[in-house]
Structure formats: structure tokens, C-alpha cells
Amino acid sequence: MTIENLLELRYLVALAAVAREQSFTRAADSLGYTQSAVSQQIGRLERLVGHELVERPGGTTPVSLTVAGRMLLVHADAIVAQLGSARADLAALTDGSAGVLRIGCYQSVGARILPRVLSRFRSGWPGVTVELTEAEDDGELLAQVERGELDLTFVAYPMMLGPFGHLELMEDPYVVVVRDDSPLGAGADPVHVRDIGDLPLVTYAQMREVHSIENRLGRPELSKQVAFRSNDNGTILGLAAEGVGAAVISWMSVDPFRPGVRVRALAGVGPRIVGIAWHRDRYRLPAADAFVRLAQQEALSEHRLALEALHVPGGDA
């Protein structure tokens, strides 16, 4: 009999729990098993694969995975994620054109694009309930797509590696937001990165490292100028309005009706690319396809608005 015949999913789940909890006792509690049951499952798994998977130092020292254990855990996580996706597919097949569409988004998309998309979506798909999951780190949202916990999520490129299909929706230009009496806010021409070289900055906090402003601008040294980071766009704009620092954010993060600030385009910096992603191996509801089409249309309108507001050539396209 081969390993494939013998290996049980619960053994892999137990391995993941031990790695997460660093304790057989806590792993057992999290799974609703006894400690001896978890120990037996790990022991059987080790015999099946022919490698020691868990370091057992004894006493109060936390347990940890061996090199072989960490290697196997990568495959275990993928298998558990695939199982979650399969369950979600079966639920979607049962629901048909009704049921639930689960969408992930981050703050700027939630304020500027999502409301218009949902308004139109509800008219065309009244039997579908939309559940929204919000996070500032789109990596968290993509992980939920991979596990089958979300059907679609808005993302900011570059994409993470994984089983994802995706579509670019729009370019979201980077801007500088300053107090309305700041000399930097005068005029309509774009601001260059060199113009903010000696200013305190305020910007985003929690996000994938590739999205941090210093990386986006190609100036790692700018991290030393960041006075505050926040997960709330309103807080960032409020700090800029009080002159605490110049806010470096994307156009969609700006409240166009926020008093006390001036917004200038940032020259020489590529825009943030906003997209939408799904699990490429999962069955996709017709309602999800309809949502993607509406998101494309509304993102195009938002992009045109940005070009016009920032006096960027092509705004009348």
C-alpha cells in the first residue's frame, strides 16, 4: 500500500496545528482532540513519510518542525487550501444564481469604486447577497481567495504567486497632499520626488512591503522622513491638513471633498495598478463574472476622473 493510500488529511491538519501552536497540548485544544491523539497522528505521519517531522525538546521548551517537517507543511497548507476551494465550489454549484458572493477589498477601493459597483450589481442580481471582507493588506485577501473563503478580491499589482486569475482595472496615480497654504500646493504642475526630499511625510501603514511608498518611489531613504503611518486614509489626510507632513498616497485614497488640503500629481512615479483577482482553478459563479465586468466599467470612470482632476494629459479620453 502506498503513502497516497495511507496518508490521512487529519495527519496534515495536526502537523499544521503543532507548527502553529508550538505545543502538542495547545494543538490538541485547537483541534478538539486529546494530546495523545495528536501525538499518535504525528507519529503515524512520521512513519509514513520516513522522516522525523517535529523536534521534541521536552519540558517547557516549545516544539518546532524539522527541515523535513517544514517542507511537508508547505504541501499540507496547499492541500488544505485546495479542500477549502472544493467545498466552496460545491456550495456555489448548489446556490446557482442565488446565494452569496464574497468580495475582498481595501479602503480606497471601498470608498471610490465599490459603492457604484454594488448599486448596479444589486439591480441585475437581486437574489445574490454580497458579503464584504476588508483588509489593508491585499496579501491577506489573496490568501482567503486561495483558501476558498473569498470569491473575488480587489488587489494592487504586482500579483502574489499563487493559483490566481486576475484582471487589471485601472491606473491609480500617486499624489502629494499638503496643507492648503503650503508653497508645495501652489500651481497645477506635478510635484517631483526631489521637491519632497526634506519634508516630513505621512503615508500608509499596514500593507505588502512592495507597496510601501519608499519602495514605490524607488527611494528607500524616504523611510527616514516618514513622521507617521496610518491604516486610515482620513487620518492621513487630517495630518496633512494640519501641516504635520506631506501625505504621499494614491489618488483613490484622497477624499475629494476634504477641506484644508491641496492635491498635486507626483511626477516620475509609476501609478498603482488596481486589479481584481479570483482562484483560477475554481468554478466561478456567473454573478462573479458580472461583478468583474461592472468593476471594469466603474474603474474606467474613476481613472478618467483622476486624470481630469490632476490635469494629466489624456483626461478627456
pLDDT value at residue 282: 84
Query: Under 8 Å CB-to-CB from 66, ≥6 apart: which residues?
Result: 51, 52, 53, 54, 55
Note the pLDDT tens digit of each residue in 89-130: 666 555 555 578 999 999 999 999 999 999 999 999 988 899
Note the pLDDT tens digit of each residue in 56-66: 887 778 888 89
What percentage of the chain exceeds 90 in pLDDT? 38
Q: Is the CB of residue 244 less than 8 Å from the CB of residue 238?
A: no
More confident residue, 214 or 243: 243
- Cell numbers for 41, please give them: 497522528
More confident residue, 166 or 220: 166
pLDDT value at residue 317: 33
Confidence of residue 239 (pLDDT cuts 50, 70, 90): very high
What percentage of the chain exceeds 70 in pLDDT? 91
Residue with grid cell 511626477, as numbered in its chain: 267
